[in-house]
Amino acid sequence: MNESQQDDHWLARPATIKLLWWVFSTVLVLLVLVQALIYVKGYFGVDGWFGFGAAFGFLSCLAMVLFAKALGYVLKRGEDYYDDGQDDA
């Protein structure tokens, strides 16, 4: 019974997830389009451009994720990295 319940939760069904993607995409499009009606004050010029918030949010996240990914190659270590050294001490 538990097994069948696991995938039966309405939030976990593929149909729901698909629907959520549709809703999410619609909201995104509307958020940009509605800027035609609502004035966004730009303090520095560029931040008042049409869809600036959307593009800036997306691109800065992209940059941060890629930067973190690259940094990860240098900085990531196994979880027992520090344990090795400390056992000797």
The residues of the shown chain that bind another protein, judged by CB under 8 A, are: 2, 6-7, 9, 11-12, 24, 27-28, 31-32, 34-35, 38-41, 43-44, 47, 51-58, 60-62, 64-69, 71-72, 74-79, 81-82, 85-86, 88-89
Instruction: Answer for the pair 67, 48: CB distance below 8 angstroms, yes or no.
Output: no
Give the shortest CB-18-to-another protein separation in angstroms: 13
Could you give the C-alpha distances from 75 to 68, 78, 84, 87, in angstroms and in order?
10, 10, 17, 22
* Shorter beta-carbon distance to another protein: residue 19 or 51: 51
DSSP state of 13: S
Give the shortest CB-50-to-another protein separation in angstroms: 10
